[in-house]
Amino acid sequence: MGIDYKTAIAGLAPFYRIAMTVKAAPGSHILMEVWLPEKTWTGRSVMIGNNGSAMAVSHLALIGALQDNFAAFHCNLSTGPDMDRGLNSPAVWADFGWRATHLTTVIGKQIVEMFYGKVADHNYFYGCSTGGQQAVSAAGLFPEDFDGIVAVAPAFSRTYLHIYFVWNCQNLIYPDGSFVFDSAEVQKLSEISIAYFQSRGDGAPGDGFVTNPYLTEAEKEEIFARIKAANFLSEEKLEKLWKVYQGPVNPRTGERIYCGHAMGAEGGFMGLDIVKIPGYTYEFLYPVRWAVNQKFADFDLFAFDFDKDTDKTLVLAKDLNADSADLDAFRKAGGKLIMTSGAMDAVVPEPNISCYYDKVVEKQGGIENTREFFRYFLVPGMSHSIKGGTGIDYMGTMDGEIPLSAGYIPVAKWDAGLVNVLIDWVENKNAPEYIMGTGFNAMNSTGMVADLGKGIRLQRPVYAYPDETVYVEGDTSLPTSFAKKEGGLKAREPRGKRYWKYD
């Protein structure tokens, strides 16, 4: 079951499409669209975030929102058609980090009012990865833009995240372009790591995925010892692998710049083999190139200096990083924020996200104050927002109901389940104690579309962090076999204090 754009659009109720270009400053070039249901509007609007480099408008995202009868806004982030546009361009940095999102929201709301003769009853934001960065940035900078926000796998701390990508490239790719690990080695690494998690009682018996990803240094060393004992990697490969697990380090001070690759996620979607994706170094390293002001054709990733060049990225931080933990204004405006990430996310490693949440909790004076407006859910078995593994594919309301639109899930673009959870919280005051996770028996080859006709593999409650979902007894496919363990999840700080900006 693939994604057929023509069929999906043909299945929508009649709507109007408005497309425009906005130039907010010299060098700015924002493409935005507003889609308006003609007769089926629910009174809700939604701004939809982007993925990756955000060079184009995603009609897939807008289709998902129109299926649920939202007035929907979306834009590129001024990066297209060539990411080298961001070289020496503060206008592009601002557009990418926050301005394009805010302006599209403001203009979209104005168009809604003109078209329908009234403002929307409620305004929402949904975003994943880069969209998650946009979500957290909007909550901090423009607290009255949205009544409710969903931030999935937020790629905030953007400059440090992309330094992590460079670090991984240096240790997963040889200078001649060949790859350090073959796919069989990657799969073996994944099996050893997941077996360790199972041996310590993680998740439920027989799970082929990770539920609680947090490891002490001693536990990481134990997994690595098991890998060495399996005797299938050379000393050179073991050295490179350990660097990947540890994450980027300043060679002069020894400070960790960012967290390392998730153990257990080696073989998952966008795991260690991510560097083999055609165009990876173009698609994933652009903020670093902006910081050192080098075109893609001139950039030598193996020459990157993790001391001096890391400091050069500070010029981008105020626009791109979206990592302020001060959400007081959003809370006072009555906003609600749901944030999720995958326990097996190797693209935006989870510790960075839970550590951010911990900083917010500290600023809010405790977990209960924070949960009044902001809840975070760590999803077992999920990689970087993309479903299709052996864990949870879909997040929805506590009753476990799956809307018909889940048959067409552009998960990185639009997730009706999480949006419904948010609507229930904003409009009905039903704060989610947990979100019901569902695993499907079949997904399509992209891991983005569920085949509902082939049934459900499992359902499991996912409790709000730092509470953990633990197995009690019974059928592991049923939600009734699980319970809440208060405070069972605890992150460790993923980088040195000098690189923390969560003020």
pLDDT tens by residue, 33-48: 999 999 999 999 999 9
∠ CA 32-37-38, nearest 5°, is 125
Q: Residue 408 — very low, low, confident or very high, per pLDDT cuts 50/70/90?
A: very low
- Domain coordinates of the chain in residue numbers? 160-318+492-499
pLDDT tens by residue, 188-221: 999 999 999 999 999 999 999 999 999 999 999 9
- Cβ neighbors of 200 (< 8 A, separation 6 or more) are 219
Measured distance between the N- and C-terminal CA atoms of the chain, rounded to whole angstroms: 45
How is residue 28 annotated by DSSP? -
The one-letter amino acid code at 328 reads D
In this structure, are residues 105 and 73 in contact, taking their beta carbons and an 8 Å threshold? yes
**Which pLDDT does position 283 carry in this prediction?**
87
Nearest to 402 by CA among 447, 450, 443: 450
Mean pLDDT in residue range 146-167: 96
Q: Residue 271 — very low, low, confident or very high, per pLDDT cuts 50/70/90?
A: very high
Average the pLDDT over each of 79-83, 159-163, 203-207 and give the range with the smallest value.
79-83
Nearest to 72 by CA among 30, 115, 29: 115
- Three-state DSSP at 329 gives helix
- Three-state DSSP at 153 gives coil
Token code pair at residue 150: 């969903």
Q: How buried is 494 (Cβ within 10 angstroms: 0-12 exposed, 13-18 middle, 19+ buried)? A: buried
In this structure, are residues 129 and 384 in contact, taking their beta carbons and an 8 Å threshold? yes
Mean pLDDT in residue range 209-236: 96
Token code pair at residue 202: 């993680």
Mean pLDDT in residue range 9-26: 92
Mean of pLDDT over the chain:
91
Asked whether the predicted pLDDT for residue 501 surpasses 70, the reply is no
Average the pLDDT over each of 6-10, 236-240, 359-363 and give the range with the smallest value.
6-10
Asked whether the predicted pLDDT for residue 3 surpasses 60, the reply is no
Token code pair at residue 268: 């998952």
Token code pair at residue 116: 């329908």
Asked whether the predicted pLDDT for residue 413 surpasses 80, the reply is no
